[in-house]
């Protein structure tokens, strides 16, 4: 289940049906890095909303909308990507996520994911 993997840089801190939260140390990041961070959490949350709850499938992002709300504060220490499933029909899953810098929302995302072929 590569969607729930952690690395030295990104840690899974909460994982339950329909929810995934990752954290990482704050550092200068571009928008594409924030998207990838949020997408990791969104696909992990989405995998729990399909019939086998992610045990044998990987999710693929079908579309994604990003809203960058504020710049990453220079004094931020920790980033969280918090994702929650909004709706699922068992094959396609709608997920929303926020990226927070020390608890302050800096970006929000919506995506539709599907089971990888």
Go through the domains of the chain in sequence order and give each one's CATH number.
Answer: 2-115 (3.10.129.10)
Task: Identify the pLDDT of residue 8.
Answer: 65
pLDDT attached to residue 117: 66
Q: What is the pLDDT of residue 60?
A: 85
Count of beta carbons in the 10 Å neighbourhood of residue 8 = 7
Average pLDDT for runs of 10 along the chain of length 117 = 59 92 93 94 89 66 96 95 93 94 97 84
Predicted pLDDT at 9: 87
CA-to-CA dists, residue 75 to 23, 55, 58, 104, angstroms: 16, 39, 35, 12
pTM given for the model:
0.86
Candidates 113, 20, 18, 19; CA nearest to 10 is: 20
């Amino acid at each position: 289940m590569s969607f729930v993997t952690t690395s030295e840089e990104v840690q899974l801190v909460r994982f339950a049906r329909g929810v995934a939260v990752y954290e990482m140390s704050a550092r200068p990041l571009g928008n594409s890095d924030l998207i990838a961070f949020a997408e990791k959490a969104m696909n992990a949350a989405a995998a729990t909303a399909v019939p086998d709850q992610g045990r044998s499938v990987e999710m693929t992002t079908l579309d994604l909308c990003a809203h960058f709300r504020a710049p990453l504060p220079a004094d931020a220490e920790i980033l969280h990507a918090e994702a929650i499933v909004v709706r699922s029909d068992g094959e396609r899953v709608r997920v929303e996520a926020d990226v927070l810098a020390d608890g302050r929302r800096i970006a929000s995302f919506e995506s539709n994911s599907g089971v990888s072929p």
